[in-house]
Amino acid sequence: MKRILALAVIFIPLFANAVNVTVNCNLPAPIGRISFALKFINPQGPNTITVMGTCKENLTIQGFDRLTLIAKPGAVITDASGGQQNAVIQINDSRRISIEGFTISGGNVGVACYDYSLCRLSGNTITGTAQRGVDISDSDVTFSGDVIKNNAIQGVYATRTHIVATNLTLQENLNGLTLFTGTLVGTGWSVSNNTQDAIFVASSSFQLIDSNISSNGWSGIDATDLVDLSLENNTVTGNGYNGVFVGDNSVAWFGGGSYTGNGYVWGAPDIGCGANYSLAKNIAGLYGTTNCTVPQPAAVRVQSK
């Protein structure tokens, strides 16, 4: 009788609106699968799927709008493909997709957000992937209180994207976050114990406020080329190379904080500069060591803040 009732909940006509579905992944397939529920809801939404148990499956969310997946305490989604599929959750050409409170593990990628999607991640732990915890391309993503750890190559890898991230934790990945050709605003981050760079940025605008970056093997922030970097009230310490590296043709603005105790492995300065950098002057008293010099006026590209 319980199984019949569950099936009745799942088989919802496509014209229905504001659907709320509960999926128990401890039940046998197909009823105990999120992918099964997705087949019977209107892609235009709004729809909410509440999930309990351990879901061993790979989800593709294609062409949806206003879809929310909410985890009951302890809910897990883990790779079922043995690494044969790209991601545990892959979101393509979709808007306002929210993933809340899950542990997402295994596979090549934990969560992929592609093809001009809008993805909202909140309170998830994304771990144990063979490549990237979160992979983003040509999309907008928000993070709120997510933990991304123990991923083999990247915690977050993003290209051509806009990211807003609050209280994001990146730890024990090979690299914490890599951003190419995008914009990012972050507040309240904790980035620690990543094997190589904590944060690597190129050809992007990057703003970080009230965050801690510590004990990473390479640089705390490597703004390698063509970066508009804004840092306010951050603590960057104990990283093996530079606390912050300002690369060629990059602008850095420092609004308080502490950048000391870095370079303990490589002997690099706390704030390092490439040969053709442009650096705002607001670094006095914030660092232990630097190789940066005040650029000639013609080279300075400091924007008012």
Q: What is the pLDDT of residue 133?
A: 98
* Residues 165, 177: Cα–Cα separation, whole Å: 12
Token pair of 49 as six digits: 């799927």
pLDDT at 144: 98
Tell me: the pLDDT tens digits for 102-137? 999 999 999 999 999 999 999 999 999 999 999 999
pTM for the predicted model, two decimal places: 0.90
Segment 11-57, tens digit of pLDDT: 444 445 678 999 999 999 899 999 999 999 999 999 999 999 999 99
Residues 6 or more apart whose CB falls under 8 angstroms from that of 2 comprise none
Mean per-residue pLDDT over the chain, rounded: 90
What was the pLDDT predicted at 25? 97
Domain extents for the chain? 77-299
Looking at residue 251, what is its pLDDT? 87
3-state secondary structure of 2: helix
Q: What percentage of the chain exceeds 90 in pLDDT? A: 78
For residue 280, pLDDT beyond 80: no
- Spell out the CATH class of 77-299: mainly beta
pLDDT digit string (tens) for 218-270?
A: 999 999 999 999 999 999 999 999 999 999 889 899 999 999 999 999 899 99
Q: State the amino acid at position 127 in one-letter form.
A: T
103-135 b/e (C-beta count within 10 Å ≥ 16 → b): bbbbbbbbbbbbeebbbbbbbbbbbbbebbbbb
Rounded to whole angstroms, the Cα distance separating 106 from 83 reads 8
Distance CA 111, CA 132 (A): 8
Q: Do 282 and 258 touch, CB atoms closer than 8 A? A: no
Q: What is the pLDDT of residue 163?
A: 98
How many Cβ atoms from other residues are within 10 Å of residue 13's Cβ?
A: 9
Q: Give the pLDDT confidence score for residue 157 in this predicted structure.
A: 98
| Span 69-80, pLDDT tens digits | 999 999 999 999
Q: What percent of the chain has pLDDT over 70?
A: 89
Of 88-92, 154-158, 278-282, the least confident: 278-282
Residue 295 has pLDDT above 90, yes or no: no
